[in-house]
Structure 1
Amino acid sequence: MSVESKSSGLFSQPRAFSIIFFLEIWERWGYYGLQSVLAVFFVKSLGMPDAESFVVFGAFSSMVYGFVAIGGYVGDKVLGTQRTVILGAFTMMIGYILMALAGANKQIVFTALAFVAVGCGLFKANPASLMSKMYAQDDPRLDGAFTLYYMAVNIGSFFSMLFVPIVGGKYGLHIGFALCAIGLVLAIANFVFFRHLLKGVDSPVGLEPLNYKKFAVVIASLVILIAVSTWMLSNLTVAHWILFIVVVTVFSIIFKEIVKSRGIERSKMIVAVVLMAEAVVFFTLFQQVFTSLNFFGIKNVEHVFLGITIDNPEVYQSLSPFWVLAVSPVLAYLYNYYGNQGRDLSMPAKFATGMAFCAAAFLVLSAGASYFANSQGLVSPWWLVAGYLLISIGELLISGLGLSMISKLMPQRMIGFTMGAYFLTTAISGVTGGWVASLTAAPQGVTDPLQTLSIYSHVFLQIGGMSAAAAFLMFLVVGPLRRMINYEDRSSNAKLSKNM
């Protein structure tokens, strides 16, 4: 059911948009606070080599997003979207509390991460699914709404990626993880207190009374899935095979629906699948923010910025959400302005442009590392500032609009499931991104910036070159994909000409 409201709300959106906006702020506070220190935590507290920490980090990320399709299904067909949001947030909160208590106990750490992965999988697709029910598919505010939604994600991530490393560095990471748990407490409280704004906005099963038998089955399944996930973090080969099977299964269901569909519906679904494939490349690059770019900032970037000594260089990661916050309102305005005039860029063109910005980011970082490092092997933080600006614009054009793309191109009956499938692109990229990041890992025991600098400059150049090639290919298919999206208009014109 769509929410119609004359209230201007937040940035001229329906009033109900505000609850999703603040829900995302606090949920992402917890998740990105964890991510900002997790790879470093693996190295410093669990004694993992850099390369292993990147691979385990990637495996955890792939689990998080690999479970999102399950969360979308539970929200659509079993419990209802709103109930699944609350259950997922509560499960994540338990995971952050366990991280705060784990210390250097690897088994407890992996159990905690399993809680987070399963909880995030339950949660992640459902706020966006609720949003999709607030707007008609042709509402010109939709791109702006999802851009502002992505802005909420980055408000939470900016402050957590800034404060959790600082607090964790000063008082211990267990306090940092406790801050993540507090974020989820606030997310749950915000949603429950303002839930009346979402009255009537849910999947059909969510509008019915709770089926306690189904709820018990879901809880039992969660316990099993958490146990299996804990085991998989110690058995990554099995985890990768399971992810492969899940991806094949989910996309087989989508392809089956494409075959059953006809006309404009089929055409748009094919475009959505192509754009999801393009998103895999982007998310592989974005994964570097928490791995190779994070370690580059620690090892080869000066720890003085604007006259301030940076004691915890992990905070450089907060440049990513900072730039998203700065650019989001500008893009939201441009989308609405040109959308109302019918002159907005097509979704395929936005994806291709976003990839071009990502390629430029890594080429800039490679240039800085290759030609502008000082005699100690350190570069100015301004190179990271520029790199994060470019990759953040790419992020907004691809990741920030990915959910809007699903809402526009997929039939309403498959929105929740396909949003879960979209997040599987991030799951795939967790594995590929961890592998790419491992290419930047210095040999065990090598800490000299002069030695690590050449590794980063070389790998960043390779990433930038391959990303530029991907952007070129994406621009080549913009025209055909745009024509497929406009299939209905062409069909209507053809019928009109025939009748005349």
Structure 2
Amino acid sequence: MESRRRIFLRIATLELCERFGFYGLQSVSVLYFVKTMGLSEQGAIMLWGAFSALMFGVPVLGGWLGDRILGARRTVAVALALLATGYTGLASGMGGAAGISLVLAVLVCGGGIFKPNITSLLRHAFSDGDDRLDIVFTIYYMSINIGATIAALAIPFLAVHIGWRASFGVSAAVLWAGFAVSLTLPATTPAPAGATDRRLWLLLAAGIGAAFTLLHYPTLARTCIWIAATAILLIWIVLYRRSAPAWRAGLKLSFALQAEAILFFLFNQQIATSLTGFARDHVAGTIHMAGMDWIVQPGQFQSLNNLWILIFAPCLAALYHSAARKGRPISVPIRFLCGFVLLTGSFILWRTAALAGAAGPVSPWWMVAGYALFSLGELLIAALGLAVIARYAPPDAVGRLMGCFSVLGGLASYLGSLVATDATYGAAGTGTASTAGYAHLFGNLAALAAIVALASALFIPFARRMDAYWRRALLTSPSTDETPPEILP
């Protein structure tokens, strides 16, 4: 039997390839849409917002495709082929609104079906409770950030020095290499016999067609996003009403904590939109470091987010381990509070930089410092929405709530793009927002993060009482034999 180490390395390589393509596109997306589609800055930001929202929604269907039709390994191979085809389309110079919308639709379907199935492959490789699983997922997470960091540094540089098409050609080559690697992985669940191929092509054609329509017609996309949000709210209500009374207190706590986690995606969307625009328009393009002057492209500042995560993640892991060992684990509400305090600090820094930019381009070190606070806040917040679902949701509702969380994350990302356009209003057709516009936007985001932090602080005692009530109800209910996890500190 092939060693798990080799299988894991291949799976991590596939994740690195997919992240390279996505973050490479993100690092230049808004400027690329403006240059090639003739969109305004606002229009380009909202196109990226719609693309991001769809990327969050499609994994719900991608998991079903891998589980029911193709199996995880074949679905991953199909996804990588779609992604490689999409980046090849960008490299070939497909222009105009229709051409780029079609390419983005292909990327949406490829990325959407890739995400749930690559995790499924990893679970298959370590399905027998291997005690190294925590280490495996840690290294796997690092591969995501490594791919993102390399892409955010390389693609903006290549776009300036060798051109848009050639830079996307590099992304296409990386994805085609990933597709070749995926064909060497061992099979998982065999695909059903029969008309699988016909069903697959019909599903992919329908998915690409639907994504193209939503990307090409922004008004329709906005309508569908709000319909999806309303549908998810109804799903939450139905799940709550149908759950056993013992689980309802936990569900209420889960909904409240998920709402905080979902809000993070609104702030995170600023990386590809307003923060990159601010770096392009008002941040000096040269940074002095190690005795040398380094030229930095606007999109390359996005790599700071991943670099700081790589630095801070081991430190936080050690802190969590130490606190748990001392019997004082750091609770989810307190992590949310600290995370949003850090987000508040990051946008206060960026607002200060924008105000200073009225006298001329500001130092890139403002971006470095702001991203340090932002990335540490992200580590405290980002994964906790899924954690509270796993903790408090009834076992038969976890999958549905995970899917709902993903779609709501997409909605928050879309709202983040809508918020980001606030800086560009009044640009007099130049596409360049003033420092006052960015200061206004960053100030509003700092205020919003501070309000969420205050709400988190006020919610902590209520969260503890709700957690305790849920535990008592679960232990005394005759309808369940579930044992609640450790007490919320």
Q: Would the TM-score normalized by the shorter structure come out above 0.5?
A: yes
- In 2, the alpha carbon distance for the partners of 1:385 and 1:422 equals 30
1:459 deviates by 1.4
- Secondary structure of the corresponding residue to residue 308 of structure 1: strand
Any conservation in 1 of the 2:69–2:191 contact (CA below 8 Å)? no
Whether the 8 Å CA contact 1:57–1:434 is kept in 2: the answer is yes
Q: 1:120 aligns with which of 93, 108, 111?
A: 111
What corresponds to 2:344 in structure 1?
Answer: 359
What is the distance in 1 between the residues matched to 2:250 and 2:76?
28
How much has 1:480 moved relative to structure 2?
Answer: 3.1
User: CA–CA distance in 1 between the matches of 2:465 and 2:174?
Assistant: 44
Counterpart of 1:260 in structure 2: which amino acid? R
Q: Show the 5 A alignment for 1:128-139.
A: 128=119
Deviation, 1:431, is: 2.0
1:323 aligns with 2:308: yes
Which of 80, 83, 88 lines up with 1:92 in the alignment?
Answer: 83
Aligned to 2:366: 383
Q: Counterpart amino acid of 1:304?
A: T
What letter is aligned with 1:433? G
How far is 1:184 from its partner? 2.4
Following superposition, the deviation at residue 298 of structure 1 comes to 0.6
Residues 230-245 of structure 1 correspond to what in structure 2 (within 5 A)? Answer: 230-245=212-227
Which residue of the partner structure matches residue 476 of structure 1?
458
Q: CA deviation at 1:80?
A: 3.9
Deviations 1:301-341 (A, max 9, x none): 11110243426222111111111111112222333443455
Determine the structure 1 residue equivalent to 2:95: 104
In the alignment, which of 314, 337, 341 is matched to residue 299 of structure 2? 314
Alignment-derived partner of residue 277 in structure 1: 259
> Amino acid of the residue matched to residue 457 of structure 1?
A
Q: 1:448 to 1:81 in 2, by over 3 A?
A: closer
Q: Structure 1 residues 373, 38: closer, same or farther in 2, change over 3 A? A: closer
Alignment partner of 2:270: what SS? helix
Distance 1:395 1:106, change over 3 A: same
**Structure of higher RCO (CA pairs closer than 8 Å, 6+ residues apart):** 1
Listed as ranges, the matches of 1:24-423 within 5 Å are 24-128=15-119, 149-195=140-186, 207=189, 209-214=191-196, 216-262=198-244, 265-306=247-288, 307-310=292-295, 312-370=297-355, 372-373=356-357, 375-376=359-360, 378-411=361-394, 413-423=396-406
Gap change, CA 1:249 and 1:208, over 3 Å in 2? farther
Match of 2:410 among 427, 434, 440: 427
401-410 vs 387-396, which moves further: 401-410
Aligned-pair CA distance for 1:171: 1.0
Match of 1:480, as an amino acid? F
Secondary structure class of the residue paired with 1:227: helix
Tell me whether 281-290 or 230-239 shows the greater mean CA deviation.
Answer: 230-239
Give the aligned residue type for 1:97.
T
Shift of the alpha carbon at 1:356?
Answer: 1.9
Query: How far off is 1:392 after superposition?
Result: 0.9
Cα distance, 1:69–1:493 mapped onto 2, change above 3 Å:
closer
Letter in structure 2 aligned against 1:328: A
Which sits farther off after the overlay, 400-409 or 453-462?
400-409
Which letter does structure 1 place at the counterpart of 2:317? Answer: A
Moved more, 433-442 or 158-167: 433-442
1:421-478 residue CA offsets vs partner (Å, 9 max, x unmatched):
22212210232111111011153456698x7111111211111011110121122223
CA-to-aligned-CA distance 1:271-300 (integer Å, 9 cap, x gap): 333333223321111101001000100111
What residue number does 1:454 align with? 436
Q: Provide closer, same or farther for how the CA distance between residues 349 and 156 of structure 1 changes in structure 2, counting only shifts above 3 A.
A: same
Displacement after TM superposition at 1:73 (Å): 3.2
CA contact (8 A) 2:424 2:431 kept: no
Deviation of 1:492 after TM superposition, in Å, equals: 7.3
Task: Flag the 1:261–1:304 CA change in 2: closer, same or farther, 3 A.
Answer: same
8 A contact 2:49–2:417 mirrored in 1: yes
Q: Report the TM-score when normalising by structure 2.
A: 0.85
Query: For 2:441 and 2:415, how far apart are their aligned partners in 1?
Result: 14
Check whether the contact 2:152–2:303 (CA below 8 A) recurs between aligned residues: yes
Structure 2 residue aligned with 1:490: 472
- Alignment CA distance shift 1:431-1:374 (3 Å): closer
Partner of 1:441: 424
Asked if the contact 1:125/1:420 (under 8 Å) is kept, the reply is: no
Between 1:99-108 and 1:276-285, the stretch displaced more is 99-108
Shift of 1:61: 1.2
Aligned equivalents of 1:28, 1:422: Cα separation in 2: 21
Any idea what the Cα deviations from partners look like across 1:5-30, whole Å, max 9, x if unmatched? 9x9x7xxxxx9765554432221111
CA contact (8 A) 1:267 1:485 kept: yes
* Secondary structure at 1:87 match in 2: helix
Cα pair distance change 1:429/1:236, threshold 3 Å: same
Distance 2:132 2:237 in 1: 28
Corresponding letter in the other structure for 2:295: I
Residue 91 of structure 1 contacts residue 118 of structure 1 at CA under 8 Å; is this kept in 2?
A: yes
Long gaps (5+) in structure 1:
10-14, 200-206, 496-500
Q: Structure 2 counterpart of 1:39, which letter?
A: V
RMSD: 3.2
Distance 1:93 1:115 in 2: 9
- Give the unaligned 5+ runs of structure 2: 478-489
Q: CA deviation at 1:414?
A: 4.7
Q: 1:59 to 1:364 in 2, by over 3 A?
A: same
Does the aligned pair in 1 maintain the 2:287–2:296 contact within 8 Å?
Answer: no
Counterpart secondary structure, 2:37? coil
> Quick check: 2:333–2:463 contact (8 Å CA) kept in 1?
yes
Equivalent pair of 1:354/1:394 in contact (CA under 8 Å): yes
Distance 2:328 2:127 in 1: 20
Residue 103 of structure 1, CA deviation: 4.2
Displacement of 1:148 = 5.2
Q: Is the 8 Å Cα contact of residues 72 and 122 (structure 1) preserved in structure 2?
A: yes
Could you tell me how far apart the structure 1 residues matched to 2:208 and 2:268 are?
A: 26
Q: How many residues align?
A: 470
**Cα distance in 2 between the residues matched to 1:62 and 1:274:** 22
Aligned to 1:463: 445
Alpha-carbon spacing, 1:304–1:164, altered in 2? closer, same or farther (3 Å):
same
Change (3 A) 1:71 1:22: same
How many percent identity over aligned positions?
A: 30
